[in-house]
Amino acid sequence: MSAQYPCLFEPFKLGALELPNRIVMAPMTRTSSPGNFPNQKNIDYYKRRAEGGVGLIITEGTCINHPAASGYPNVPFFYGEKALAGWKDVVDAVHSAGGKIMPQLWHVGAVRRPGIEPDAEVPGYGPSGMVAKGKKRCHEMSENDIADVIEAFAQGAADAQKLGFDGVEVHGAHGYLIDQFFWADLNERTDQWGGTLQNRTRFAAEIVKAIKDRTGPDFPVILRWSQWKMQEYTAKLTNTPEEMETFLKPLVDAGVDIFHCSTRRFWEPEFERSNLNLAGWVKKITGKPTITVGSVGLDNDFINEGSPVFKEAETSDLSELASRMEAGEFDLAAVGRALIANPEWANQVRDGNMESLKPYQKEMLAELI
Ligand code: FNR
């Protein structure tokens, strides 16, 4: 046994949250829960990754209790007796394998199109009813709608706590609802929820506050955010460290415990004149622990330019990741596709069996166990 990258296998502790190592399973939508509840295959899938040694599992995006939360078929919901019972089985299976797990709470907002579950008539919801810059094609959210969604996130977190999850992740990334509020291209509101960067951050901050009020200070809340959007890969919410500070402060004040900083390639510097990546800057600015993500253990990105199709990728070594973590740039590293290809990725890396790791192929998603 040769631990090639020892810093990845140091324990992590934040309040009541104790993880055996620094490897996090990235949230990955499976669209394989017909009826919108986790089934036995889903339970086995997560249990296998826990047995494979990953320190923390973040589940696929799971929809909060709001009629417009879902954007894709066969996504598991996070409400209703059957879905919550399914999630309870997932939690118990992961815990029995010694793992930790948090659900990723999700509302897709304006990405939704009519025809999707649970009510085909319900349109997408967005801060300004826009599906793209200048295109008003969906429902513009009222004050009541905003209050309903905040409440639904809080209820989701309270249910997660009751089911025994180890915390929650709020999906504020990739151009879905919370990110639509962040992003001036889709948020043209002139009230307290739009306009300045601080106002555009308010929706996420209120969600985090509502979760904290409901679950108490010891239940960890991760916020995932990204500069890039599914709708526009080169988008930026913040262009300078100063803007980033303005953006992050209300979120820190609201009670975010860990920032999950989504990039497509973790080695890319976020701003000029510094090698720090997004997670590095967020940690430097806030002092909060951060998770980095994006092509860890793989040689290329997970999106083909122009279409959300996931590519093949070869394995790569982890020396760049390890040296950045060692230097304290970020605390945790999330792994997506490499864990699809290798359920035992963490144990294989720990044991120095890098040559046994399989490359990723998108066909693996279809037959995933
Ligand atoms: C994703 N990603 C993603 N992100 C998220 O926040 N919620 C989600 O439900 C999903 N769903 C999803 C499905 C699939 C099949 C893939 C490949 C990706 C993005 C994912 O969490 C991660 O950020 C990227 O995959 C980059 O990490 P890797 O794959 O390069 O390690």
Lining residues, ligand 1, CB within 6 Å: 26-29, 60-61, 104, 171, 173-174, 224, 262, 293-296, 298, 302, 310, 335-338, 365
Owner of token pair 């997932």: 90
Residue 336 CA to ligand 1 center (angstroms) comes to 6
Q: Is 176 a catalytic residue?
A: yes
| C-alpha to C-alpha distances, 3 to 98, 324, 331, 354, nearest whole angstrom | 20, 17, 18, 11
Q: What are the structural domains, with CATH classification, of the chain?
A: 6-367 (3.20.20.70)
Residue 305: the pLDDT is: 62
Helix extents (H) in the chain? 40-51, 81-96, 143-163, 177-182, 197-215, 241-254, 278-286, 319-326, 337-341, 345-350
Residue nearest to atom 13 of ligand 1 (CA): 28
Q: How far apart are CA 22 and CA 8, in angstroms?
A: 5
Spacing, Cα 20 to ligand 1 middle (Å): 23
- CA of residue 275 to ligand 1 center, whole Å: 24
What is the value of pTM for the model shown?
0.98
Quick count: other Cβ atoms within 10 Å of Cβ 280? 23
User: Atom 18 in ligand 1: which residue has the minimum CA distance?
Assistant: 28
Q: In degrees rounded to 5, what are phi and psi of residue 348?
A: -65, -40
Name the residue at shortest CA distance from atom 6 of ligand 1.
Answer: 27
Nearest CA-CA partner of 302 in 29, 7, 1, 11: 29
- Selecting among 79, 176, 233, 360, the annotated active-site residue is 176
Closest protein CA for atom 3 of ligand 1: 28
Pairing of strands 168-174, 221-229: parallel
pLDDT tens-place values along the chain, 369 residues long? 457 899 999 999 999 999 999 999 999 999 999 999 999 999 999 999 999 999 999 999 999 999 999 999 999 999 999 999 999 999 999 999 999 999 999 999 999 999 999 999 999 999 999 999 999 999 999 999 999 999 999 999 999 999 999 999 999 999 999 999 999 999 999 999 999 999 999 999 999 999 999 999 999 999 999 999 999 999 999 999 999 999 999 999 999 999 999 999 999 999 999 999 999 999 999 999 999 999 999 998 888 665 555 678 999 999 999 999 999 999 999 999 999 999 999 999 999 999 999 999 988 988 888
48: nearest Cα among 365, 345, 319: 345
Give the pLDDT confidence score for residue 303 in this predicted structure: 81
| Cα–ligand 1 centroid distance for 75 (angstroms) | 14
Give me the residue label for tokens 């394995």: 315
